[in-house]
Amino acid sequence: MFVHDYKDINVSDSPFDNYLDLVEASRELGIHPQSLRRLIKQGRVPATLFAGKYLLERDKLDIFKSSYDPRPGRKPIRRLL
């Protein structure tokens, strides 16, 4: 009889672990998925279209999130003086 010990196998090592889909990424940013789709189409957020779904890398989303202001309208320009 052949017995497998599956404790050594790490199932979470998927190539997609470092990616979020559109809905997960929009929740992370606190915006509507359609708004994120628009930002992707404008080229402001890097994303990959895979099997009909947008996938966003976690690292690149974190970089975008650090400088993104989700409030609508024009943003005030900061002046040094």
Q: What's the mean pLDDT in 27-39?
A: 94
pLDDT mean across residues, the chain: 82
Nearest to 22 by CA among 59, 60, 49: 49
Handedness of CA 26, 59, 67, 49 (dihedral sign): negative
CA separation for the pair 56, 60 (Å, rounded): 7
pLDDT for res 74: 65
67: confidence class by pLDDT, cuts 50, 70, 90: confident
Question: pLDDT tens digits, residue range 37-60?
Answer: 999 999 999 999 999 999 999 999
Q: Judge contact between 55 and 19, C-beta under 8 A.
A: yes
Structural domains of the chain ordered from first start: 15-67 (1.10.10.10)
